[in-house]
Homo-oligomer: A and B are copies of this chain.
């Protein structure tokens, strides 16, 4: 099997802002420490949850450095470096490697829908410039392009593309990946409501922002799967399902920030145009959290 350092629960921190919309690095580090302390098996800054595309180059670099220095090697770190242009993707991938990241995650962001060849050349151009592993991330809802299993297979021929994160929300995709790519390729679930189905299908890990709110349930699900106890996994999954659906439906940055506030944790401000959830949405989230 290709050597994968990531497994289990890979936690996605939010990027908190000050009221004036500046990134709040001090608060980011506190939120990061909570995730590590809660038992997450990996940390992934600058994902969709971390509002990567809304940040400047300098802000991305500050977040990357803050993560490495705070995590201090206790768990592996996966840094998001996706960018519309190949040049900027390479730039941030090299920065992450130099800063000490264990791997980078790349989604082929797309304004103009990329062809398969363009996507392969994009990954290849980045891969040649770094020596740490790359997780190829498929998420048509945010990235705008849906990479077929055939294309993912081509990407895996690039030596340091070793992991796939699948977020289409279709469990049959995962079945296909497992069957077509073989057991030596690790695939990760990025669709929260599919957590149980994905582990049942053989996913190596779960990329999720949920540990910001309910780390015990997320880790508990993984542990039940590890013990081959489906009945227990099912029970733990159904406990958290409503929360998982809610945070996805409302948008992870908004929902995680609101959830932290309900738990009495400061999550900072959002950056415009993203706004806090409405009062009725917050009330709904309060009910969901209190009944868990």
Q: Which residues of B contact A108 (CB under 8 A)?
A: 273
Give Cα A45 to B30, complex, Å.
44
Task: Please determine whether B275 and A117 come into contact, CB atoms closer than 8 angstroms.
Answer: yes
Q: Which residues of B contact A200 (CB under 8 A)?
A: 196-197, 200, 230, 233-234
Q: Which residues of B contact A245 (CB under 8 A)?
A: 172
Give Cα A178 to B179, complex, Å.
28
Task: Please determine whether B179 and A122 come into contact, CB atoms closer than 8 angstroms.
Answer: no
Task: Please determine whether A178 and B274 come into contact, CB atoms closer than 8 angstroms.
Answer: no
Contact size class for A?
35 or more
Task: Please determine whether B54 and A111 come into contact, CB atoms closer than 8 angstroms.
Answer: yes
Interchain Cβ contacts under 8 Å between A and B, 29 examples: A48-B112, A53-B84, A53-B111, A108-B273, A112-B254, A112-B274, A114-B273, A114-B274, A117-B275, A121-B272, A121-B275, A122-B272, A142-B144, A170-B170, A171-B171, A171-B194, A172-B245, A175-B193, A175-B196, A178-B238, A196-B200, A197-B201, A200-B230, A200-B234, A228-B229, A228-B231, A229-B230, A230-B230, A230-B233
- A residues adjacent to B (C-beta < 8 A): 21, 48, 51, 53-54, 84-87, 108, 111-115, 117-119, 121-122, 125, 141-142, 144, 169-172, 175, 178-179, 193-194, 196-197, 200-202, 225, 228-231, 233-234, 238, 241-242, 245, 251-254, 271-275
